[in-house]
Structure 1
Amino acid sequence: MKIATFGSCLSRFTAMNYARMFRGEIVGAVYHNRIDRFVRTYVRNEVPELPISEFVKANYDQSTSKLKVMVDNQMMNGTLGLHGVAKGRPGFMTAIEEQLDLVLLDNYVDIIARQCHLQGYPSGGIFANPRELPQLQGRLVLDAEYLDMKEAVAYWGELINWIRARQRGTKIFFLNFPMKHHHNALMAERTTEFASLFASKRVNVVPLMEVPPSLVRTPSHFSPAYYSMLAGYIRYVTRHKRNEQPTAEERADDVLVA
């Protein structure tokens, strides 16, 4: 089973647990690309990426490893679509043009991220912390506002259409990122607003499932049990919809009591 993800750790860790529990491999993963930027840059081909050369000149690779990974994950000449993917796998941008079995999507970045824009470049921006790039101080400017949730929903509809055109028979699930536990009340409000606005007949929308306090590790990362639960839910839905019959091994485990 070939699996691809788009979003954050929520979709990827759920995919990892799904692959472990039900056999499969992750062949592509887009990480930390805000939906408006991705659609405008790679779906519409409307605005270019920020040139990675500007970050190289700013010695971004000598800053925190986290920053380098974050920037590279948003660059075609970097690791776009390849985050955490095993060597030799095609990556999201190639795999999405081939037949996949399962695609998992989530909206974490759209909830929490304000983007940066580099003065002098009419680009779709980038998700990064300007304070970690002092060489670009004054040029790399953080947006004042977050992405409007109604706009985010519209962009998601566009991305889903783009994916579905390439993956007609593929099982696609959208996971609403849970934020009720977040220390920032605005984040909790935004995730609830998005979930109330978003609906799709082209993908399976997983209901917003809040995380019990015992399973919260950080504001954006959870215990493996939570990801396993989501993987099990996805498995249940896919099997139920196609009326899949139990395997011989599962039937052998059945015990009949008179």
Structure 2
Amino acid sequence: MSNILTFGSCLSRYIARSYKRLYSGEIISSVYHNRSDYFVESFITNVQKPVDNSTISELALNHSNADEDSINILENQTLARCGMHKVDTVENIFSLIEKNLYDIIFIDNFMDIAAKLSHCGDEKVFLRPQDYTNYSLKYKIGDYISTTKSVESFNLIIDYFKKRNPKAKIFFFFFHFPWNTYENDEQRKKRSLSFF
């Protein structure tokens, strides 16, 4: 039985679930809502401090828009809960990596295609502005990540995983997020195709 990590979005998660059903395995960690540059700068190069409880406590949920994912989005970008998106584990991804408990990693680039990070000074974080009543008092929406920066960041992420467990199998390039799932969204299609 293989232990599986996922990094990206529902695409990696669904592939992992299918693998689990077909070949037997367990999804032990799932990193959602982390754009590649955020993950690198917050957890690998430590250029910026990751989101913490003070950031979370300062945001006021807009209850007419917010849902269960609103909190999950933030928590999955914290050091304490990164990789704990809807999995039955009490350990974050970094603890599991340290113990070399993973055999397979599925990675997709949906967040890099679709997400703009929010900025407050030097702090960067992925937020959905409509989820918070006080968003505009503190944050401004940034730009999309460039394809070059995305490739650089994913290279660092893959190296990070491989150095800690050289035997792990990593699947990434085959799981480029399919633009045709948003065929009526020309901007999303253009962004996705720019990564080829």
Q: Answer yes or no: same fold by TM over 0.5.
A: yes
Q: CA deviation at 1:157?
A: 1.0
Q: CA deviation at 1:150?
A: 1.4
Q: CA deviation at 1:44?
A: 0.4
Q: SS of 1:5's equivalent?
A: strand
Q: CA deviation at 1:61?
A: 9.3
Q: C-alpha distance in 2, partners of 1:74/1:177?
A: 21
Aligned to 1:72: 75
CA 1:105–1:169 in structure 2 vs 1: closer, same or farther (change >3 Å)? same
Which one of 84, 92, 105 corresponds to residue 86 of structure 2? 84
- Identical-residue share of aligned pairs (%): 28
Aligned to 1:256: none
Q: SS of 1:156's equivalent?
A: helix
Q: Give the AA of the match of 2:177.
A: F
Q: C-alpha distance in 1, partners of 2:14/2:94?
A: 19
Q: CA deviation at 1:56?
A: 1.3
Q: SS of 1:96's equivalent?
A: helix
CA contact (8 A) 1:130 1:141 kept: no
Q: C-alpha distance in 1, partners of 2:148/2:111?
A: 15
Note the 1:21-60 alignment, pairs <5 A.
Answer: 21-60=22-61
> Alpha carbon RMSD of aligned pairs, Å?
1.8
Q: C-alpha distance in 2, partners of 1:193/1:167?
A: 31
Q: C-alpha distance in 2, partners of 1:32/1:41?
A: 13
> What's the TM-score once normalised by structure 1's chain length?
0.68
Q: CA deviation at 1:177?
A: 0.7
Q: C-alpha distance in 1, partners of 2:51/2:103?
A: 32
Q: Tell me the number of residue pairs that the alignment of Structure 1 and Structure 2 aligns.
A: 189
Aligned to 2:138: 139
What are structure 1's unaligned runs of at least 5 residues?
A: 197-258
Note the 1:36-185 alignment, pairs <5 A.
Answer: 36-60=37-61, 63-77=66-80, 79-88=81-90, 90-97=91-98, 98-119=100-121, 122-123=122-123, 125-143=124-142, 145-174=143-172, 175-182=175-182, 183-185=184-186
Q: Alpha-carbon deviations, 1:210-257, whole Å to 9, x = none?
A: xxxxxxxxxxxxxxxxxxxxxxxxxxxxxxxxxxxxxxxxxxxxxxxx
Flag the structure with more relative contact order, 1 or 2, with Cα contacts below 8 A and sequence separation at least 6: 2
Aligned to 1:210: none
Q: Give the AA of the match of 1:34.
A: R
Q: SS of 1:84's equivalent?
A: coil
Q: Give the AA of the match of 2:128.
A: N
Tell me which structure has the larger Cα radius of gyration.
1
Q: SS of 1:137's equivalent?
A: helix
CA contact (8 A) 1:67 1:132 kept: yes
What are structure 2's unaligned runs of at least 5 residues?
A: none
Q: Alpha-carbon deviations, 1:76-107, whole Å to 9, x = none?
A: 23x3111111145x342222221421111110
Q: SS of 2:116's equivalent?
A: coil
Q: Give the AA of the match of 2:176.
A: N
CA 1:114–1:80 in structure 2 vs 1: closer, same or farther (change >3 Å)? same
